[in-house]
Amino acid sequence: YIMGNTDKNKISKKNIDIKDINIEDIDDKVRDADITIEKWQIKVNQIKRGKLKIENILLSGMFKDNIFNFTTKDIKFAKGFINANGKINFQSGESEIDFAANNIDSDTVADAIFNMPNQIKGLAGASLKAKMKHNFQDINAHADFYIKEGYLPQLGSTEFIIKKSKKVKRPIKIKLSEITNIDMSKNEALVSDISGSFDMDNDDLSNICLFAQQSFLSLFIEGDYDISQSYARMNIWGKYDVIAHRKIKILFVPVSLIFKIIFRPEKTKELYTDKLQKIPPIESTPENERVFRVNIEGNLNDKDIKVDLKSLI
C-alpha cells in the first residue's frame, strides 16, 4: 500500500494496493495528477532479483513533481540490516539510492548478488551508491566494503600441477595452501581483515580492489568479474615469510624446488612497484619476505581456471 498526508489544498490521502514494487503501476496512477505529499509511505512486500530477496520494506518521505525522496531504516537482509536514502523519479524511471549495510553475512550476499557461493566468509559492513534507469532494470553503482575477521575459503583449494621433468619424475598436484604452509581448511589460519571496493554495471564488476591481511599471508587482488557467467579475470599480488616453508616437503619433494618450478622466478619486481606497495604488511623482515603474483582467468564456480604464478625477484 501507499499512503500519505498533504496540505488541505491538495490530496489528503492516496492509497494504492500493490503486492510487489512495480514502478509502472504507481506511475500510471499519479503521473497525470498535480500531487505534493509531505509525508508519504510505501510498503513493499518483496523485492526479488535473481537470488536476491528482500521483504517488508517501508519507504518514508516526500512526493513532489513525480519524484519521491525517501529514507528507510533497518531492512533485514543477510542476517544484518540495510539502511537507504534516495529518490525515485516515477516519470523517467530513474533512481539514485545510497545504501549502508551493517553486520550482513558476506557469504549470503556474495551468493545472492554475485553468484559466488562459498568464496568469502565473515560479517561485513558496506556502502553502495547506485544510479538506476528503466525502473531499476539498468544499474550502475560503486561499492566499498569491510569484513572484520573474514576469510577466503576457496583461496587455497585450487590445484596446480607440476609436470614431469628431469627434476620431477612424476606429475605433482599442489595447492597454494601447501606452498605457503598455511592450512586453509582451518578458519584460524584464514582469518584476516578484508576490505575493498568495486564498480558495478549491471552484471559486470570492474575496478575490483580487495585487500586481505594476516600474519602469515597478505594479498592485494584486482580485476574484473562477470556475474552472469561467474567469469573472473584477476591479478593476485601477495607476500609471505620464506622461513615458514624451508624444511617442508610435499610428496618427498623439497618445497624450495617446488617454488622454483611453480613460482617461476621473474625479474620484474621493479616493474610492479606500484602494485606491490598496495599489499598489506606481514610479520617478517625484509630479507625473509617474498612476493609473488598470480594471474587467474576462468569460471570461479566450476574451478575451470587458468592460473599463472610468478615469484618476483
pLDDT digit string, tens, across residues 28-41: 555 555 678 888 88
Q: In this predicted model, which residue has the larger pLDDT, 27 or 277?
A: 277
Q: What is the DSSP string of 10-51?
A: S-S---B--SS--HHHHHHHHTTS--EEEEEEEEEEEEEETT
Distance CA 184, CA 123 (A): 19
Q: Report the chain's C-alpha Rg in angstroms.
A: 25
Q: What is the mean pLDDT of residues 106-112?
A: 90
Mode of pairing for the β-strands spanning 264-266 and 304-312:
parallel
Q: How is the chain split among helix, strand and coil, in percent rounded to 5?
A: 15, 55, 30
**Global pTM value:** 0.75
Distance CA 109, CA 104 (A): 8
Q: In this predicted model, which residue has the larger pLDDT, 309 or 212?
A: 212
> pLDDT tens across 85-101, in order?
999 999 999 999 999 99
> pLDDT tens across 257-273, in order?
445 545 667 788 888 99
Q: For residue 303, what pLDDT band results from cuts at 50, 70 and 90?
A: low
What pLDDT shows up at residue 301?
Answer: 77
Q: What is the mean pLDDT of residues 187-205?
A: 82
Distance CA 70, CA 87 (A): 6
**Helix count and strand count (H, E) for the chain:** 6, 19
> pLDDT tens across 8-61, in order?
334 434 444 444 455 555 555 555 556 788 888 888 888 877 777 888 889 999
Which ranges of 142-280 would DSSP assign to H, the alpha helix? 176-179, 187-190, 255-262, 273-276
> pLDDT tens across 208-249, in order?
999 988 776 788 999 999 998 989 999 989 887 777 555 433
pLDDT of 146 strictly over 90: yes
Q: Which of 86-90, 120-124, 171-175, 251-255 has the highest mean pLDDT?
A: 86-90
The answer to whether residues 38 and 12 touch, using CB atoms and an 8 Å cutoff, is no
Number of neighbouring beta carbons within 10 Å of residue 201: 11
Kindly report the average pLDDT of the chain as a whole number: 76
Q: Which of 25-29, 146-150, 152-156, 278-282 has the highest mean pLDDT?
A: 278-282
Q: What is the mean pLDDT of residues 110-123?
A: 86
Distance CA 121, CA 106 (A): 6
Q: Which of 156-160, 182-186, 196-200, 278-282 has the highest mean pLDDT?
A: 196-200
Q: For residue 181, what pLDDT band results from cuts at 50, 70 and 90?
A: very low
Distance CA 248, CA 265 (A): 20
Written as one letter, the residue type at 118 is N
The answer to whether residues 39 and 62 touch, using CB atoms and an 8 Å cutoff, is yes
Query: 3-state class of 214 per DSSP?
Result: coil
What pLDDT shows up at residue 43?
Answer: 86
What pLDDT shows up at residue 251?
Answer: 36
Using alpha carbons, select from 128, 131, 107, 126 the residue that is nearest to residue 51.
Answer: 107
What pLDDT shows up at residue 180?
Answer: 46
State the DSSP code for 271.
G
Q: Which helix (H) or strand (E) holds 106?
A: helix 106-114
pLDDT of 154 strictly over 70: no
Report in angstroms the alpha-carbon separations of 12 from 23, 113, 283: 22, 39, 66
> pLDDT tens across 55-80, in order?
888 999 999 999 999 999 899 999 99
Report in angstroms the alpha-carbon separations of 57 from 45, 60, 192: 6, 10, 33
pLDDT of 274 strictly over 90: yes
The answer to whether residues 211 and 194 touch, using CB atoms and an 8 Å cutoff, is yes
